[in-house]
Structure 1
Amino acid sequence: MVRKCLLLATCLVLAGCQQTPDNSYSGYVESQTVSIAAPQSGWLSAVNVDRGDTVRDGQPLFRLDATQAQYALSGAENRATSAQAQAADLAKGARDADIAPLTAQRVQAQSQLDLARANEARYAQLEPKGYVSATQMDSLRAATKSALAQLANIDRQIEEKRLASRVDQQRSAQAQAAAAKADVAGAQYTVDDRDVKARLTGLVDERLREPGEFVAAGSAVLTVRPQGREFVRFYVPQSDLAKFRVGGSVRIACDGCKGQTAKVRFISPSAEFTPPVIYSVRERQKLMFLIEATPEAPDALHAGQPVDVRL
């Protein structure tokens, strides 16, 4: 009985691998698989989809803990606020409170100038009568000039305080503010990037990680089969290989689905033996070549579905 079952199984495999009497070839539907990896290292806090779920472009898939990234964002925002305030401060003059000490110094300098002028005028009347020496007058005149220069110096400082900073200083401050703003944008991107969203539409194939696990940057969390990326794989014997060419068309059909055209996209450059379950020496020596074809309506097919391929 066991011998008969093995014989029957061998016959079925032969029928599936060889060209059928109606000049068709047996194959199956395969689909591209895309790995959705963690863009950053961190603790996995949530996985929003499971195996078999359909995901849409923009749909949340999983989330990494963002505590540290939030701290970095807060620091960047504070630095940007400080840099912007410094740039704004350099663009305007000093406040009255900042100038108040200079104003008090000016009052004192004005008093000294008034006193120096009064002394000079008083002694100038006595100079022609010989009561004041030339040396004394020179000293009085020098005191007046010194007081005048001191007053002018304070006036210049007050004027500078009321003016904005130099253009180069303002440009430097503005550049620093812009750099700090860019740092905020980068920190915000890092925070947003820890909430991973789909960038394609497809079917979740495998859920590889669970919440609570620590994942390294680049580690796959999910695998997804993108919609519209299904293709057909089938084998042909080396005797029929010349009938096929890359870019050529074939017809595919399956149970319960409408037949459609597919374009050959790949022909294996190396031959393979028929499956090892076939123990016959004669069959083992038959060489088969793998061919892949892209159907015109891939959404109508399902991965793993058997199909018949005809020229």
Structure 2
Amino acid sequence: MTNHVKRYGPIGIGAILLTAAIIGWTQLQNPHEEQGHIEVFGNVDVRQVNLGFKVSGRLAEVIVDEGDQVIAGDVVAKLEPVDYGNEVKLAEARVARSQAALNVLLAGARPQEIAQAEAMLAEAEAALKVAETTLSRQEYLAERNIASHQAHEEAEARRGAAIAKRSAAAEGLELARIGPRAEDIDQARSVLAAEQAALALAEQRVADTILTAPNDGVILTRVREPGAIIVAGETIYTLTLTSPVWVRAYIEEPDLDLIYAGMDADVRTDSGHAYTGQIGFISPVAEFTPKTVETRSLRTSLVYRVRIIVDDPKQRLKQGMPVTVLINPDRSD
């Protein structure tokens, strides 16, 4: 110590101690900042999707296995489609029936039907003439007491019936010429639309017997085997998505003003691989330091969750892998 005092002198030693104190205070103020970068630790977060059918049925075929890589749209499993195919046939028959009923109304009465109505009217008019002639004769005879009054009354009743029949025949002919009511046509169109909607649903159920991958990824688990009875929504596969890949990390409050969404970041693994990333999300809510951080002095500190989107074209990053994130802070303010 005596030699150091002689070499530097009391003033030099004081300056060295002051410099060391300043450096130590700076590191305490921001222990995660290293060589101008903010250093945080996190874990790779890869999203997973449980794949299942929208309809129930018997599992007919499983096409991929654990570890297989799939592309969005690839068929991965199938259900037996027979029952749903029969539903489609039934719905198609109902649509055809409703369409035929509507066509009948739109076409109106056929010429033969109008001719038949005209013939019925002519027959009714002829019957009315006969009834009127008979009534006149009975009136003449009744006035001279040649025929009974009962015969006269019967003749009057027959004429009334003939008049009513003629009126009904005339109205039938008029309806045949006018055609169906607009309300009947609208009702037939509504029935047809309902049957067409039922057909679309049946066809969609047939399509839902084929399970496809919604995203690019790797099959993590295969849960069911062919022949199993599957209910709607039951998991058949678990798919690990290959994109996007995120890193979930936490940043302390003193560093919060130095970062923003969209800022570039470097992501490094323990094996030495480096990846480019970008801050995609900064939580607006403070949290306590996660329990995975075992340092006693940091356990009660408030931190903010940060999500870094990582470019991983070779798909080396795996779920839960620990990584180090280096962020170049923004000191423009």
With the length of structure 1 as denominator, give the TM-score of the two structures: 0.68
- C-alpha displacement of 1:147: 3.3
Query: Hey, what's the Cα distance between the residues in 2 that align with 1:124 and 1:241?
Result: 118
Q: Report what 1:269 is aligned to.
A: 288
Q: Is contact 1:265-1:294 (8 Å) kept?
A: no
Query: Hey, what's the Cα distance between the residues in 2 that align with 1:233 and 1:113?
Result: 98
- C-alpha displacement of 1:124: 9.2
DSSP 3-state at the match of 2:232 = coil
Query: Hey, what's the Cα distance between the residues in 1 that align with 2:287 and 2:129?
Result: 106
- Matches of residues 150-299 of structure 1 in structure 2 within 5 Å? 150-233=165-248, 242-243=254-255, 247=260, 250-254=265-269, 257-263=273-279, 265=282, 269-272=288-291, 293-299=307-313
Amino acid corresponding to residue 218 of structure 2 in structure 1: L
Query: Hey, what's the Cα distance between the residues in 2 that align with 1:204 and 1:91?
Result: 56
Q: Is contact 1:230-1:302 (8 Å) kept?
A: no
The 1:105/1:256 distance shift into structure 2, 3 A limit, reads same
The 1:303/1:141 distance shift into structure 2, 3 A limit, reads same
- Matches of residues 1-311 of structure 1 in structure 2 within 5 Å? 28-95=43-110, 105-106=120-121, 108-116=123-131, 118-119=133-134, 147-233=162-248, 242-243=254-255, 247=260, 250-254=265-269, 257-263=273-279, 265=282, 269-272=288-291, 293-299=307-313, 301-304=315-318, 307-311=323-327
Amino acid corresponding to residue 160 of structure 1 in structure 2: L
- C-alpha displacement of 1:200: 2.2
Query: Hey, what's the Cα distance between the residues in 2 that align with 1:292 and 1:301?
Result: 21
Q: Is contact 1:30-1:303 (8 Å) kept?
A: no
Q: Is contact 2:275-2:310 (8 Å) kept?
A: no
- C-alpha displacement of 1:33: 1.1
Q: For structure 2, which runs of at least 5 residues remain unmatched after alignment?
A: 1-31, 328-333
Q: Is contact 2:275-2:312 (8 Å) kept?
A: no
Amino acid corresponding to residue 40 of structure 1 in structure 2: V
The 1:137/1:243 distance shift into structure 2, 3 A limit, reads closer
The 1:143/1:71 distance shift into structure 2, 3 A limit, reads closer
With the length of structure 2 as denominator, give the TM-score of the two structures: 0.65
Query: Hey, what's the Cα distance between the residues in 1 that align with 2:275 and 2:141?
Result: 128
Query: Hey, what's the Cα distance between the residues in 2 that align with 1:122 and 1:235?
Result: 116
Can you list the C-alpha shifts for 1:162-182, whole angstroms capped at 9, x where unaligned?
A: 442222222222111111111
Query: Hey, what's the Cα distance between the residues in 2 that align with 1:105 and 1:290?
Result: 91
Amino acid corresponding to residue 169 of structure 2 in structure 1: I
Query: Hey, what's the Cα distance between the residues in 1 that align with 2:66 and 2:287?
Result: 32
Q: Is contact 1:60-1:197 (8 Å) kept?
A: yes
Amino acid corresponding to residue 227 of structure 1 in structure 2: T
Query: Hey, what's the Cα distance between the residues in 2 that align with 1:126 and 1:62?
Result: 96
- C-alpha displacement of 1:49: 2.4
Amino acid corresponding to residue 289 of structure 2 in structure 1: S
Query: Hey, what's the Cα distance between the residues in 2 that align with 1:216 and 1:145?
Result: 71
Query: Hey, what's the Cα distance between the residues in 2 that align with 1:63 and 1:225?
Result: 20
Q: Is contact 1:69-1:191 (8 Å) kept?
A: yes
- 100-109 vs 33-42, which moves further: 100-109
Can you list the C-alpha shifts for 1:232-257, whole angstroms capped at 9, x where unaligned?
A: 25689xxx785467747542234575
Q: Report what 1:11 is aligned to.
A: none
- 166-175 vs 266-275, which moves further: 266-275
Aligned length: 282
Query: Hey, what's the Cα distance between the residues in 1 that align with 2:101 and 2:87?
Result: 21
Q: Report what 1:8 is aligned to.
A: none
RMSD, aligned CA: 4.3
- C-alpha displacement of 1:291: 6.2
State, as a whole percentage, how many aligned pairs show the same letter. 23
Query: Hey, what's the Cα distance between the residues in 1 that align with 2:102 and 2:59?
Result: 41
- C-alpha displacement of 1:146: 5.0
DSSP 3-state at the match of 1:196 = strand
Query: Hey, what's the Cα distance between the residues in 1 that align with 2:100 and 2:86?
Result: 21
Query: Hey, what's the Cα distance between the residues in 2 that align with 1:109 and 1:234?
Result: 96
